[in-house]
Structure 1
């Protein structure tokens, strides 16, 4: 077989072109830090990368949901803490008012402070996160206590004030993991109505100057309400603990997903740089050999 100069030149150019392509690919990997920059480089690695990235995006979204759950539950618990403090003060005032040594003027002053506590609890019932009222069920645009009518929002059915089908009592759930939802709101609007009715009865009895023994009955009513608040806070605390457990699980899942994605996509810099230096040496050798095997031309002899 006769080997011509054009064959040698063609093979040389083709090999140099392949060498340039390999060198360019390794250099691109070093620049980007990724094994593949397009699906055609390695379809299997690219497909796995899409799956790992989707998993990581889901974990990040669930983490944002966890943050929202923390916000609602912490705000709710803090609000009930303040309601409990107000009722504790109301109980102390009723102990004073029920004493037979308390004068009508003193009871009038007590009634004035009780009215302020009533207004304070009404304002707590209208607690908001952003633009959402947290105690209105799914009617987050509606304030539980209407300052215009000076009344709490009425249930759809007065005979079923805690009906779960009533939007004011519907739970708001948020997904914190695949298929796992946690209720982030509390629906105590009937509890707030009971508190308001209790304050109304206390005020009427003080104004009617009933006896101290009759006023003392309201202390038991306040204690019963405070018991309900403690029960509600216990439920909130249980959900807070569940959210903390899910948060820890998500943090571990994020680390695992990130590690998998890195192992699948990221290059080993030491190995890549070694390959680049090796390929560069091969390329230089190819250029040197090519310069020797190509026949000299007349121009070379005219130097």
Structure 2
């Protein structure tokens, strides 16, 4: 038994095949214009799914990089502040040592006391250093100034760590403990804090006293600043390594996403030209299949 093929069936199949051919050309033209293998998820669900994962990974990596940049900026400002503290304390040390000169007059020592008092105010300004609108020497209480300019007292007692997440399950404190800097009471834990020491030095010098015996306490405070700065530097080095790893990860994921989605333009052009030729051939064959009608003879 043979299947009867009608003219209507031939026409229908021809139109269906032409439609498929045009669909293929549309696909290649879309790839050529977008530069992507797929233009919609239904084109290839596997490629689309991988692309979503890669984009999520890049977005997460971008946030980590912003956190690392913020951490780096915060620590650089902190390091510069600690360096400035060391510089002003070094000046105080020079004054303290010079106060032991027996040839100094009371007026000279009074002038030294005035300078120490001004240095204390400068130290208070450093203690209130901000980045943006946040105080860097205030623990997690970053909205309130830790040093009271009116009373000349470092009032902050917050020693909590201000942390940022720089990678999955990697959280690093970006601040220093202000209590270990401005409320440090020496190795014994009973000495004056840095502000109390400067107050005492200023008062004694204004009274014409020799304060050179206090140089040991001052050196203890300066050594403490150096130790805190070294600890901060170690964390800064770690953040630099994390930044390098994040940058490398971004490059790797971007390359994987490109391999997953980017179209081979030369191959797409070849496929498009081939499909155009196929389509032309199909149109030519279709013209032979369609039987002439009575109207063709009447023209």
TM tier, shorter chain?
over 0.9
In 2, Cα distance between equivalents of 1:181 and 1:264 = 32
Asked whether the equivalents of residues 80 and 229 of structure 1 are also in contact (C-alpha less than 8 Å), the reply is yes
Q: State the shift of 1:144 in Å.
A: 0.8
Question: What is the TM-score when the length of structure 1 is the normalising length?
Answer: 0.91
Secondary structure of 2:165 counterpart: strand
In 2, Cα distance between equivalents of 1:32 and 1:247 = 32
Could you tell me which residue of structure 2 aligns to residue 197 of structure 1?
A: 196
In the TM superposition, what whole-angstrom CA distance separates every residue of 1:269-298 from its partner, at most 9, and x where no partner exists? 111111111111111111111112211123
Could you tell me which residue of structure 1 aligns to residue 178 of structure 2?
A: 188
**Number of residue-to-residue matches in the alignment:** 288
Could you tell me which residue of structure 2 aligns to residue 74 of structure 1?
A: 76
In 2, Cα distance between equivalents of 1:198 and 1:255 = 53
In the TM superposition, what whole-angstrom CA distance separates every residue of 1:238-274 from its partner, at most 9, and x where no partner exists? 0010001111111111111111111111111111111
In 1, Cα distance between equivalents of 2:182 and 2:153 = 11
Asked whether the equivalents of residues 19 and 283 of structure 1 are also in contact (C-alpha less than 8 Å), the reply is yes
Asked whether the equivalents of residues 147 and 156 of structure 2 are also in contact (C-alpha less than 8 Å), the reply is no
In the TM superposition, what whole-angstrom CA distance separates every residue of 1:27-61 from its partner, at most 9, and x where no partner exists? 11111111122221111111111111111111111
In 2, Cα distance between equivalents of 1:148 and 1:103 = 31
After TM superposition, the structure 1 = structure 2 runs for residues 221-300 of structure 1, keeping only pairs within 5 Å, are: 221-300=217-296
In 2, Cα distance between equivalents of 1:251 and 1:29 = 29
In 2, Cα distance between equivalents of 1:146 and 1:262 = 56
Asked whether the equivalents of residues 126 and 143 of structure 1 are also in contact (C-alpha less than 8 Å), the reply is yes
Q: State the shift of 1:208 in Å.
A: 3.0
In 1, Cα distance between equivalents of 2:154 and 2:287 = 94
CA RMSD of aligned residues (A): 1.3
Could you tell me which residue of structure 2 aligns to residue 206 of structure 1?
A: 205
Secondary structure of 1:169 counterpart: coil
In 2, Cα distance between equivalents of 1:240 and 1:2 = 83
After TM superposition, the structure 1 = structure 2 runs for residues 138-217 of structure 1, keeping only pairs within 5 Å, are: 138-155=140-157, 168-193=158-183, 194-210=193-209, 212=210, 215-217=211-213
**Consecutive unaligned residues in structure 1, runs of 5 or more:** 156-167
Asked whether the equivalents of residues 144 and 189 of structure 1 are also in contact (C-alpha less than 8 Å), the reply is no
